Amino acid sequence: MRITTWNVNSIKQRLPHLLGFLEEAKPDVVCLQELKCQDEGFPRAEVEGAGYAVETLGQKAYNGVALLVRAPLTASEIRRGLPGDGEDVQARYIEAVVSGEGSPPIRVASIYLPNGNPVDSPKYPYKLAFLERLRLHARDLARLEVPVVLAGDYNVIPQAEDAADPEAWRHDALFLPASRAAFRALLAEGYTDAVRACDPRDGLYTFWDYQAGCWQRNQGIRIDHLLLSPQAADRLVSASVQKHLRGLDKPSDHVPVTVRLSDG
């Protein structure tokens, strides 16, 4: 099973790129973030026409997450929203059990973590609280002892080697010690960073800002992650970054990241 995460930075603007990627790579599950549309505004007909069932949690102009599941796989037990805060109305988490004939069930989540900037505003405490809620939910999922993939834009640069210029991010919410510690606490619940498990090299990035020629100078950061429970990590075959999509006309500032899991 191939599972991809991709912050598309507006599904309506990036629909041609998404459809091209679905045709090119044929992932089994796609976790999308930053849809920037409500559920009824998602281009469902076009994506279903490409062979994918769609589950969304949208929000007008901001946020928004989705799960795309390629037939004959199906999604069930849909959870919309991260547990732990009944007053949180931001559309940042969707989860489902994906299964099919001959394919063992796997629980997959699409996550769009808060950016957290500016750090002296309420946005940063919200980011840390969201990470703590995610850690507690990840612990509950791990207790199920089933394959779990927590995929998405985490807005966390885990280590210095995950940034072309770490010093430039020193005071940013993505790289502050508390953000990185919260990410490590999530891993400590028994989860594996799939990309780093497969490729420890420096220079492996998933995001390049639109400003200052960051793409042309390869001034990127790695903030899009797929975290695997032990049962999913046991099935990990490969992980890869589809960097070439950043070079398309009017691209997202993020690129897809894909893991391949064996059938068990």
> What separation, in Å, do the N-terminal and C-terminal C-alpha atoms of the chain show?
10
Structural domain total, the chain: 1
Angle, in degrees to the nearest 10, between helices 123-142 and 177-187: 10
Per annotation, catalytic residue among 112, 154, 191, 205? 112
- How would you write the pLDDT of the chain (264 residues) with one tens digit per residue? 999 999 999 999 999 999 999 999 999 999 999 999 999 999 999 999 999 999 999 999 999 999 999 999 999 999 999 999 999 999 999 999 999 887 789 999 999 999 999 999 999 999 999 999 999 999 999 999 999 999 999 999 999 999 999 999 999 999 999 999 999 999 999 999 999 999 999 999 999 999 989 999 999 999 999 999 999 999 999 999 999 999 999 999 999 999 999 987
153, 113 contact by CB (below 8 A)? yes
Could you write out the DSSP letters of every residue in 118-150? STTSTHHHHHHHHHHHHHHHHHHHHTTTS-EEE
Catalytic residue at 62?
Answer: no
Q: Tokens for 224?
A: 């899009």
What is the bridge-based pairing of β-strands 103-112 and 148-153?
parallel
- Structural domain boundaries, residue 110: 2-261
Amino acid letter, 20: G
Catalytic residue at 93?
Answer: no
- 145: domain CATH number is 3.60.10.10
Per annotation, catalytic residue among 52, 93, 153, 205? 153
